[in-house]
Amino acid sequence: MEANKIIIRPLLTEKSYAGIANKVYSFVVAKNAGKIEIKKAVEELFGVKVASVNTLIVKGHKKTQNTKAGRTVGRTSDYKKAVVKLTADSKSIAFFDSLS
């Protein structure tokens, strides 16, 4: 699988902003990607050294909408999140440096 298809987008939340100073970054990744594939993709795309990768599946939230026809209930999509920690001697990712 290509690196561009494994790493879908960065995940920007309050908790992920707190990790930027410690070289811990969060990404939304492909559901079928494993930890080793995610590690190789981050190293290839950003030119850094990865120390560890933690993954989890985030369940979609329930959404309710009131309409003229009545109440409709749906869900947002599930997605896979990867928390990537870089080694101490690795450079930081430039995209996240501009945010902090």
Q: 34-84 pLDDT, tens per residue?
A: 999 999 999 999 999 999 999 999 999 999 999 898 999 999 999 999 999
**Is 95 part of a structural domain of the chain?**
no
CA distance 48 to 8: 18
**Is 66 part of a structural domain of the chain?**
yes
DSSP codes joined into one string, 27-95: EEE-TT--HHHHHHHHHHHH---EEEEEEEEEPPPEEEEEETTEEEEEEPPPEEEEEEEE-TTSPPPHH
Contact 25, 48 (CB under 8 A): no
CATH number for the domain spanning 36: value is 3.30.70.330
**Is 39 part of a structural domain of the chain?**
yes
Q: If pLDDT is split at 50, 70 and 90, which confidence band does 97 have?
A: confident
pLDDT of residue 37: 96
pLDDT of residue 100: 62
Closest CA to 5 of 24, 32, 43: 32
Positive or negative: CA dihedral 2, 50, 19, 95:
negative
Q: If pLDDT is split at 50, 70 and 90, which confidence band does 94 have?
A: confident
Domain count, the chain: 1
Domain span at residue 57? 3-89
